[in-house]
Amino acid sequence: MKTTASGQARSTLELVMFSVIFCALSTLLQATVVAGEKQFVTWAAGKAVYFESLDVQDVLPEDFSFLDKALEGKRIIYIAESDHWVNQKYDYRLTLIRHLFNRGWRRIGMEMDFCDGKRVDRYLDTGDPSHLERVALYGYKGGWREDRDDIPQGFPGIRAPKFRKAFVSQERRFLRQLRSLSESRRKGTPRLSWFGFDVGLMPCVAYEDAQEILANHASNPAIQEVLKRLRRVEAESRDAEAQRLVGLLGFIETESSSIQKTVGKDRAEDLVRTLQHQVDYLLFADAAKEGASTLNWYHGLVRREQRMASLVDEILADLKPGEKIILMGQVLHLSKNSEGITLGPIGASAPSMWVSIGTHLARKFPGEVYSVWMMYDHGRHGSVLLPDGVEEVPSDSTSVEHLLAQVGETFFLPLKSGGDGESYLREKRHFRQNGSVASGVIAEQADALFFIREVTELVEE
């Protein structure tokens, strides 16, 4: 069909008009976005509680008193960080823990292997540093097998000596400070106690713990059989080892009365929990063997999170009336609506999160959880994904952190406090997690943000 000259002119005019309208709408939309960002920055600047330093010597006991009202009726507090491997997370944790300690919070759970957590608790109790020498996360190899490499592929930073030395140095410094804080308590009041609620990537020490529980009781026939079945089988696969231990757990269940009578109820329950933890570690290690970004890895993370929730549920069930717990870990774990988080930028074809331990607890105990997220804009951090273990993290102009950097250097920002400016955080936004990007509605995940503009990588002291 022929197109007339008048028809061509009309089509051209319509195209021009469409372009003009499109440009006008785009300009209006951009202006609206900028106005919303400015409103958020102004709102945050008015609500923020600023800190000149995070050094515990410079932060006064009353500097966090503004939190007391928000924590009324709370049973669980999340002290979450967006990045595991930055120096500043330790001072952030310590200043908050000191305030909570002075108000009766004495139980700390850490995103750390369950068996490692028991060793850290013994250190906090006794002050004996030899207990830290037997923590797998810090390099202890008592759980390693000579006939099988259980370190997953794709995480070369785990093996980087400089990275590991810096990490262990900062961890031990932090624990020394906690021990000192615990020992400063008023006579007759509970000490700080510690538990791990994670399934770690490093070969754990469950076998040693199980054998310690059963030591000096080998005359009991049931315990003789348990010790026999605990012996490792040469060249067995992770799956075969897990199934062997599942069978052992079944045997322990049938002989529970005899075993409890011999070692005591608490130690018998610890034995079961320890062996179940080894099973979960083996299954997670098998899922992680090819490294991150695989379907097996994703399924392993889901199973790991379920184990985390189970462990903390057990801890909470044993709490005395009035006891409260602090949970420390990465923000994705300690999120209050994790299924609304995407593990990638907005619009990308990226997986959504599973139900995190933080979400599990927030739904199980509505109104009893308070979540603080530490975030930062730029700097240098450690990375288990890189051979040298360190990388630059530039500012991301599309992120929440980029706007927070305009508010101040170091500050605490309570959320859910009203004001139109906070509406910016009630929409899906980019945020940083371990140097990568995720997206979600921040106001659904956290009750407060602790922001540090620039961070530095872990260093050995």
DSSP-H helix ranges across 110-237: 114-126, 161-183, 206-214, 221-230
Q: How far apart are CA 223 and CA 259, in angstroms?
A: 7
What pLDDT score was predicted for residue 61?
67
pLDDT (average), residues 191-212: 94
Show the tokens assigned to 164: 């590991």
**CA torsion angle 262 267 270 275 (round to 10):** -40
What pLDDT score was predicted for residue 437?
92
Question: Picking from 8-17, 68-77, 224-233, 374-383, which range would have the lowest pLDDT averaged per residue?
Answer: 8-17
Angle between helices 256-263 and 238-254 (to 10 degrees): 80
pLDDT, tens digit, 9 for 90 and up, residues 290-347: 766 677 888 888 999 999 999 999 999 999 888 999 999 999 999 999 999 999 888 8
Under the banding of pLDDT at 50, 70 and 90, the label for residue 416 is confident
What pLDDT score was predicted for residue 28?
40
Q: How far is CA 426 from CA 329, 340, 443, in A?
A: 23, 12, 5
Question: Picking from 27-41, 313-327, 393-407, which range would have the lowest pLDDT averaged per residue?
Answer: 27-41
Contacts 24+ apart (CB under 8 A), 213-218: 213/263, 213/267, 213/270, 213/271, 213/274, 214/263, 214/271, 217/262, 217/263
What pLDDT score was predicted for residue 289?
78
The enclosing H or E element of 344 equals none
Quick check: 95 and 56 in contact, CB under 8 A?
Answer: yes
Quick check: 395 and 402 in contact, CB under 8 A?
Answer: yes
- Which of 316, 362, 353, 314 has the alpha carbon at shortest distance from 78? 362
Spatial neighbors of 402 by CB under 8 A, at least 6 apart, are: 377, 395, 396
The angle subtended at Cα 267 by Cα 263 and Cα 271, nearest 5°, is: 105
Q: How far is CA 435 from CA 113, 207, 412, 427, 449, in A?
A: 23, 35, 21, 22, 17
Tell how strand 49-50 and strand 410-414 pair up.
antiparallel
- Percent composition of the chain: helix, strand, coil (DSSP 3-state, to 5): 50, 15, 35
Indicate the DSSP class of residue 86: B
Question: Picking from 77-91, 355-369, 417-431, 441-455, which range would have the lowest pLDDT averaged per residue?
Answer: 417-431
Q: How far apart are CA 134 and CA 345, in angstroms?
A: 40
> Taking 70 as the threshold, does the pLDDT of residue 427 lie above it?
yes
Taking phi over 0 as left and psi of -120 to 50 as alpha, with beta for the rest, 418 belongs to: left
pLDDT, tens digit, 9 for 90 and up, residues 362-381: 999 999 999 999 999 999 99
For 69-82, b/e burial (b = at least 16 CB within 10 A) is ebbeebbbbbbbbb
The pTM is what?
0.90
Spatial neighbors of 24 by CB under 8 A, at least 6 apart, are: none
- Which of 111, 177, 168 has the alpha carbon at shortest distance from 326? 111
Q: How far apart are CA 225 and CA 39, in angstroms?
A: 68
pLDDT (average), residues 17-37: 52
